[in-house]
Structure 1
Amino acid sequence: MSQDNKYLKKRNNRDVWLFSKRIPKQLQHLYEGKEVLTKSLKTSCIKTARLRRNALLAEMSLQEEQAIDGGRATFISFYRTLKEAKDIHGYEPYGVHHNIDLEDVTNTDRYPEIQRDALKAVYSGETPLKYTCTLRESMTEWLELNRNKNKDTISKVKSTTERFLKHCEVFDLPLLSIERSSVVGFISELADECSVSTIRAHLSRLKTVYKHAWDMGRIKNKDNPFADHSLAHLETKKEKNPKQLFSREQIHLLAKWADEQTAKGSNMGLLFRLGLFTGSRIGELCRIKVKDVYTDSGITAIKIRIGKTSAAQRTVPLTDSLASEVLQLMDGRDPESKLLGLNGDKASRDFSRFKVTNISKDSSQCFHSLRVHVSTALLRAGIQENRSAFIVGHEGGKTMTYGYYAKGDELKTLKEFIDKAEEVIKRDWLN
């Protein structure tokens, strides 16, 4: 359809033009919940139809603007006009000018209720709650002032704000209308799929956006509804909620998705396989440098230099198929460069986002669950627990005599363990 005739159509066997357009969600309550507005333009002339269509589009645009900011922008405009009129002409609501015609001052008959609210605010000095600074407005201003921060920070602030508004089932809301109880509900919702540290990060971002409005003088209430929330009960809950295995079907879906990301130029596929067959944490794998890969007696292994605990520093031999992939990837690369070229935090978020959307919202299932698969596979293969603990970097592995830089017979023994685990993983979850 020609752009000139956008939103215009005719019914079969009729010569009258119709206007048809999807109604934005924030406006559907104004149209009895309808999702599409279809209206006769009562003309068979295309030029007239276009003019009437444009008028309807302009009306919807104004309605959308009001719906998005709750009338705040219009209120501010009226307030400034009326305040200037008061300062210059000395209008008094109950004096000689008590019959003042607001339309004469604002030069419009639109939004009479907002005009009256603006006049009251001029004389009372109090802005009605619904016209005060909003969460989205404060976020936008904060993003503009902090646009030089790294892209990850910017993205997270946007994402968290959108998530909270979605939880509240609104497009936007005044900061001063946010109840602490709403934040508690948000925390409970997050707890179903997020770690305690992730929940803290969400609250910290929202706290920053609220504080920004206070710092800039946009709101008068300093009490921050996103601050000082105790998450101790969640930490206890998480401790009692160990990571769970994925099912065979879930593993297949994850493997397929990871390979699809590889086809797009990422090393997510290799990251997933390294997690599944070595049990290493996602952060450990993403920090591995090319120089951390070595081969001894025909066995290729990776050195985990930095980990969550002291036991995390260890040597992990690779299965033959993984070794082939890794050696090919590192060929000709700078020894100091990251092997996978992935940011651990982003990789974790990408994995979690796919998992939550397509597989499970259960927070006990995550990338960390792949460690449980390896531990379980080693157990099913008859490997003693203290030996399997060394491979995955658990505290119990400290008692092992293997050094951080395993080689020779030590490396050969560890490789035997990994190969047995690979057989079980393929048998129980991949084949």
Structure 2
Amino acid sequence: MRGNVWFVQKRLSPILTQHLGKKMLQQSTQTGDLDAACRIRDQVLVELSELEALLLGQASPAQRRRQFIEARERFKEYEESIISDEPLTLLDVIEPERLSEIEQDALRSMYSGQTPDEYRLSLKAALEDWLYSPLVERKPSTRSKNSHAVELFLSCLGGDDVVLAAITRKQVRGFITEQLHLGKTKQTVANYLSGLSALWRHAEYTMEEPLPAGNPFKGHSLNPKATVKSYDQFTRDDVEAIFKATEEAEGIFYLLPRLGFYTGARLEELCSLKTTDIIQQQGVWCLSVREGMGKNSNATRDVPLHSAIKPLVLEQLKQAQAVGSVYLFPEAGATNRSDGKKGPKFSQWFSRLTEKTIPKQGRKVSFHSFRTTAITIMLGAGFQEQLVVWVTGHERGLTTASKVYHRGPDFKMRLKAVEAIKVEALLEADQSNYSSR
């Protein structure tokens, strides 16, 4: 970082050094946002890799396709610019035999109107463009999931890649059947199809690839939500047992269960908190769940800190700042996954903890059960659902005007709802059927 701007610095290979006339690349990302700078860095590295491959004669299929399209468009422009008293074509003014193989293929394609399969957009090429296109908003977790979906689909087809336009609904149905036989849930398979469908739409509308009518990844009747069971809430005994089991713990291992109970926030949201996300709103200390941390756009919110955890969070903030940590929990900040998620490691820890401390007895409980529990308590205390969803980040059911202009109830009212969350508000045996996803 220089000043408030991140720079990319990369030592170049000998062939790039010779071509570019310098040994070191230094390029400004023109942003102070680290996540945005990392995306720009990744794109720069891809472009350098492609340039080196071209210089070495080792262009990838995606690169060859781009060269083909660029050459064809260039030839069209040349032919349209020819001015002569006699009817002339491009073939009359150039020497095709002196063109490269790709340029010759592009020239033939221009006159025949046919594109050889090797230059048609492939699934991997669509994924590559989608991953790095500045026109697409995507979280690291979405990038990872869609990349995984492509790997699984190609594995099912038994090939390294496939022309996008050649994919059939029969192949997609075979993929669905295979994944279900392997034990994947309908929801998981539906997520794969959603990602693959997004790549098809990107190719069709952003890359302007001529594709057959009808997206083959859409319209498969999985009905995944009908098979999903919501999480059960915790009983008072459960919460007390979890708190007792972690009372000697420190840092994230002490605070995480208490934050879950007193805020109703999702585990990934809590693990992704940065020191700059502890803020004051109207004099009320809050956790700020930013865009990209939560499940969807409704998850963006500021959650008031319950009096039982506010001093603990502020102390954790001081400790994190003292060691120079960007994240509220340095343990979570040290997690480095390709999908960018900070929570899976601690989700596994919490699962092991509950296996030892509370009886499941057929219930579906996890860290998400804190969320169910918090919502149940606030609703049971008489607070309106519209207030509770501003605290927990569910769909707010607002009118169009309210979505644009309404900023939610004031923070003192939100804090009152949060303060209703108490262990004593829970029954010894859970009798509530309310559940939340």
Question: What TM-score bracket applies, with the shorter chain setting the length?
Answer: 0.3 to 0.5
Structure with the larger RCO, 1 or 2 (CA within 8 Å, 6+ apart): 2
Q: TM (normalized to structure 1)?
A: 0.42
Q: TM (normalized to structure 2)?
A: 0.41
